[in-house]
Structure 1
Amino acid sequence: MYQRYMALAFVTNGLGAYGLRVLAGAGLGNLETRYLVIWYSAGSILALAVAIPHLGKLAVRELGIGILMAFCSVLGQTGMALAMSGGIPGYVVFPVAVGGGLILVVMVGVFVFGERLSLLIGIGIASGLASLILLALPS
């Protein structure tokens, strides 16, 4: 069941970012705040619908992790919306947001949890970093 919930979180978070990209591409950046309020309200209703049958089984730690994940998601989506409304093009914002988060997770895994990386994984991470740097360079 855990995998289903994580897949649902993965898909809904990705759809939220995609919606921001659609708004930016359509020139509707002034609607980003409304979009995020509606998106997270709907997500909260969905999360409650999933959680209500399991209320007696939820541990405080699980609830805290879920709330922390939601808070981080709101911050990330809001940061992307503010970056685009501030004039940074979507083709820069989205790779940096997605790739930057992935690189942060890898760095925490390596430096905090002592994960070991193979040569192939190192080459992939270096390629990702290089692409982020190239995207951020002025035209």
Structure 2
Amino acid sequence: MRQHGLDAENEGSDGRARPLLILSLAERLIVDAQAQLNKIPRSQRFRYGAHLGDALYRLPELIVQAASARTNKTKVYALCDHLRVLASLMRIGAESDYINDRWLGRINRPGTETDKGGEFSQVSAIAFAWRERLKG
């Protein structure tokens, strides 16, 4: 995936923008989810599908707001709350056979020493670690 200056958290020591890892992961998650969104049955496409799509597309906005706020706990907490809602929506979709169980398992795969895990798992881990760091 191409990196743009727009996804920079701050500048590195060389003056170039450093990409936000969490934003890149969220973008990959959204691109990966397109196939699942397209497979949602027509009867649920404008109910469940629209709700899930909106929740996915809101994720980058919340990440950028949280990164911009830096010390503002409210934005990071809102991001974490949104991730919980998104996880719930995806579980509902899998249980209702609107989205593929294997896809959900892949994006939620926990990280190990040799594998970083699925995109959603990584985004959640970064956001909740960020929240814990701000608590102190």
TM-score (norm 2): 0.38
For the pair shown, which has the larger CA radius of gyration, 1 or 2?
A: 1
| Structure with greater strand percent | 2
Structure having the higher helix fraction is 1
Q: Normalising by the residue count of structure 1, what TM-score does the alignment of the two structures yield?
A: 0.38
